[in-house]
Structure 1
Amino acid sequence: MKTCTILGTEIAVTTMEETVRYIEEHMEELRGKYICVSNVHTTVTAYEDESYRKVQNGAAFALPDGKPLSLYSKKHGFPEAERVTGPDLMGELFARDNGLTHYFYGGSEATIGTLREKLPKEYPHLKIAGMVSPPYRPLTKEEDAAQVEAMNASGADIIWIGLGAPKQERYMFEHQGLTQGVMVGVGAGFDYYAGTIRRAPMWMQKLSLEWLYRLMQDPKRLFKRYFVTNFKFLRLTLGRGKKSRGEKKS
């Protein structure tokens, strides 16, 4: 999969259709690996933190969840680049009768309970292998091993990780090779489908203002994440005129 280097992070140049098809056709190759769903916040964090940049670049691929990332790719030699959001990717894979099974790891007990009730009704073909809301505290080695064993015993193909960034990416990096399914970090994706967080209207998404909509819902927690890092991203990327091309290692 082609990538565009953005502040040191290799962001996939793809479309939703290509991404879904790639996951379906390369499931056996993806087992034990992980997929990052990247945005401005994670990209700036990776730029400033070498260890987290290693996590992002260690993924099978990092999808451009944030529209500024796909726009950057378009302006730097990849006109075909499109945005691929985590929640939309979930919906696309939920709706397809492709035989893949899904495991959900993350979110609160209330969120998981709502997902357990709502998803089978909205997606009749969806095969749910398991749903777990882990403790917010760090797990012991024994507890962590038991969680991985449960994931593998479920036979899940796709393991959705909803722990929030950067925790979920570090979790996936540390557990690569241990799971028998492919891990996909989707941040607030669980909450969107449970209805505990509302997505921005489509016009705001198209104008790259989804971050503002979320900021208005939770300004105290998200001010630094969105307002500060968004302006930092603009400052860091303005004037970078060189095209960044490359191919992701298999």
Structure 2
Amino acid sequence: MTNSNPIGLFDSGIGGTSIWQEIHNLLPNENTIYLADSKNAPYGQKSKEEIIDLSFKNTEFLLNHNAKMIVVACNTATTNAIKELREKFKIPFIGIEPAIKPAANNSKTQTIGILATKGTLNSELFNKNVEKFHETTIIEQVGFNLVKLIENGEMYSEEMTSLLQQYLTPMIQANIDYLVLGCSHYPYLIPQIKKILPPNVKIIDSGQAVAKQTLKVLEDKIGLNNELKSSNLFYTNSNPKVLQNILQNKYVVTQKDF
């Protein structure tokens, strides 16, 4: 079964490109269209209703560009809006959630840390997942201002280093052996996080799992693109330079108000 329509992805900004990269690595022939709603970042500080409204708007944009499926490449949007998206739109959606299960199941110290947005940590879906692992001590930390700094191109600023040290130090003191990154922006901070964490602490994000699930849904329900050359389109409603920098200037980024 062949279907050359693009895979649509959206995020509150540039962070979901970490998910896009994993999907592109696994499925290089697939056409993709990525939407960065940077004008409204971060989603983590918004109400559930606002997040649902923005997710609907982003979905409609991608459907207008013939997306065959949509990857919600944002933890906050997934945990607050995936149910409503699936009810409203008759298209397959793949969400992204903090990878608590592999961390909790493999932890030797029975203590893991989760760095995520306020919107994710306060969501009903996230808290339902946490309840399944009551034998594991889970240290939750809101990554206040991390997304904002990344979106502003201040990933390696002194403020970023200071905030990461502030957020991670209590986890280190509590003897975590896994750190779960609960925001698609945060994988871009892994090099800096590794400098702060002890070498025995493993870092987990959801990118590869989302890519594998995308492949499975395409094979089972939709169809793969069999063309040898893929088209990868990127849209943002903010300054395109930050997104272009993250993509290492390999792709054209179109600025569009939506």
Q: Quickly name the TM-score band, shorter chain normalised.
A: 0.3 to 0.5
TM-score between the two structures when normalised by the length of structure 1: 0.38
